[in-house]
Every structure is written in C-alpha cells, then in structure tokens.
C-alpha cells in the first residue's frame, strides 16, 4: 500500500477510484482559480503581471479518463467500451 498525499489528503496509490476522486477535487480547484500563481515585474516605467497555473489541464484530463476506466474495471469487472453508432 503506497500512500500519496493529494490536495492535503492521504490516498492509496493502488486504488484507482480513490485517486480519481482526489484528482477530480484538484481539477475543480484549478478550474475555480484557487491554484493559480501570480508573478509581477515592476520597473519605474511599466508593470507586468503574469498569471499561471502550476499544472496541465490536458494531462490531468487524460489521467482522470485512465483512472475512471481503471475504477470501472475494478468495480464491475468489465472494460468501458467506446463503440459509437454512426447515423447517416
């Protein structure tokens, strides 16, 4: 059992469902703007402020999809299928 700390909570790294919940909470914090860094550079003439996020939203989304599929496989025993019906 490898425990990791995500967003201040200890989570079992081997449990995809618990990891999904913890990372989803991080995503919500990123979307709400709570995890935003700000850097300001000031000179006598100008002032520039740069606002940035410490994480990549696309990478977080990919990991959430992977963990969601692993959680579904763990709880139901079946893989998630992505078959779409095409209508013409």
Question: Distance between CA 69 and CA 46 in Å, rounded?
Answer: 50
Question: Distance between CA 68 and CA 48 in Å, rounded?
Answer: 40
pLDDT in tens, 24-70: 988 888 887 777 777 788 888 888 888 777 777 888 889 999 999 89
Q: Quick check: 5 and 19 in contact, CB under 8 A?
A: no
Question: Distance between CA 63 and CA 85 in Å, rounded?
Answer: 26
pLDDT at 81 over 70: no
Integer angstrom CA distances of residue 58 from 2, 8, 64, 78: 26, 22, 10, 26
Domains, the chain, with CATH or none? 3-76 (3.30.1580)
Instruction: Say what the pLDDT of residue 31 is.
Output: 81
Q: What is the pTM of this model?
A: 0.66
Give the burial string for 58-77 (b: 16+ CB within 10 Å, else e). eeeeeebeebeebbbeeeee
Task: Locate 19 and state its tokens.
Answer: 């990891």
Q: How confident is the model at residue 85 (pLDDT cuts 50, 70, 90)?
A: low
């Amino acid at each position: 059992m490898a425990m990791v700390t995500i967003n201040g909570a200890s989570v079992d790294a081997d449990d995809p469902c618990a990891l999904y919940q913890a990372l989803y909470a991080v995503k919500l914090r990123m979307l709400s703007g709570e995890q935003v860094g700000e850097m300001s550079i000031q000179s006598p003439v100008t002032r520039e402020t740069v606002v940035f996020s410490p994480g990549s939203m696309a990478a977080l989304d990919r990991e959430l999809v992977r963990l969601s599929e692993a959680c579904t496989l763990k709880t139901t025993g079946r893989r998630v299928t992505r078959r779409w019906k095409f209508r013409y």
